[in-house]
Structure 1
Amino acid sequence: MKTIFKKPVDFDRSWYVIDAEGKNLGRLASKVAQILRGKHKPYYTPHQECGDFVVVVNADKVAVTGDKLQSKMYYRHSGYMGGLKETNLSEMLDKKPTTPVEKAIKGMLPHNRLGRKIFKNVKVYAGPNHPHGAQKPAALEI
């Protein structure tokens, strides 16, 4: 098999809008990550940025199963001794409603320079409105 090398000019990059209302967090994030990587395209190559742009709306209405609203924890550290802070999913959805979706998507992308570059192609909004109407994004049902 030969590796396909396409120039970035040859990529046709589309915009998609995904409504997260009532969707499971992990399933939504995995589908968005696949679209961002470009795995749905026939000329996908793992070392190039060939994916599309994704706009996620209604991120504050994402669904989780079981007791994850109370038991799923998000951790951060201040850098000082004993500076570990923890927040559960329900508090995170109240304070920063887009963060759980962003963290789930970012965790499913490569953890390198390419992943950081690809993550800039996703825009997450808490409400139903977004400022990307000029790109004429297509609605994508998951």
Structure 2
Amino acid sequence: MEIFTPQTPMPTKEEALAKREWYVVDASGKTLGRLASEIAKRLRGKHRPEFAPHLDLGDFVVVINAEKVRLTGKKLDQKIYWRHSGYMGGLKLRTARQMLEKKPEEVIRLAVKRMLPKNRLGRKLLKKLKVYAGPEHPHQAQNPKPFEI
């Protein structure tokens, strides 16, 4: 007696590349965490019915007006971004306020990066995120669709 087991359809790499789209998100007035989680979901491809955790099925996301993103509560002064040079005493600390003044793109990029998988796939997905401080971006040729959050 033969047992029938239906095969789950797995999208091929060519199918995934054909379905990729570009989206533009305006970050002005949006809360950082809520914005980052929606962007991470879109980059990962979790909005698609054919989502597979080991494949890159996501879309490209262009974020404009990163300097106008909002943080709630006292996060502007209490949230600390830290990095270490690797040398003794090489800890570099910056508050969210300082980061928004110097590198507003980095605030959104780091928030999204920390929501993606910590492996090769996550690094590949992060390359599809383009963040710009002002309202202009150089990706008009890709005809990005507006994405409202």
TM-score bin, normalised by smaller chain: over 0.9
Query: Are 1:125 and 2:135 counterparts?
Result: no
Residue type at the aligned position of 1:134: A
Structure 1 stretches of 5 or more lacking a match? none
Distance across 2 between alignment mates of 1:80 and 1:14: 43
1:83 is displaced (CA, Å) by 1.1
3-state SS of 2:93 partner = strand
Q: Deviations along 1:57-83, whole A, 9 cap, x unmatched?
A: 000100010011000000011111111
Residue type at the aligned position of 1:9: E
Query: Are 1:25 and 2:53 counterparts?
Result: no
Distance across 2 between alignment mates of 1:45 and 1:110: 13
Distance across 1 between alignment mates of 2:28 and 2:49: 30
Aligned counterpart, 1:55: 62
Q: Deviations along 1:38-60, whole A, 9 cap, x unmatched?
A: 00111000000000000000001
Larger Rg: 2
TM-score by length of 2: 0.92
Is residue 13–residue 50 contact of structure 1 (8 Å, CA) maintained in 2?
yes
3-state SS of 2:104 partner = coil
Q: Percent identity?
A: 57
1:4 is displaced (CA, Å) by 3.6
Distance across 2 between alignment mates of 1:66 and 1:90: 13
TM-score by length of 1: 0.97
The count of aligned residue pairs is 142
3-state SS of 2:42 partner = helix
Structure 2 stretches of 5 or more lacking a match? 1-5
3-state SS of 1:76 partner = strand
Residue type at the aligned position of 1:27: R
**Where has structure 1 moved over 6 Å in runs of 4 or more?**
none
Q: Tell which deviates more after alignment, 76-85 or 26-35.
A: 76-85
Is residue 3–residue 45 contact of structure 1 (8 Å, CA) maintained in 2?
no
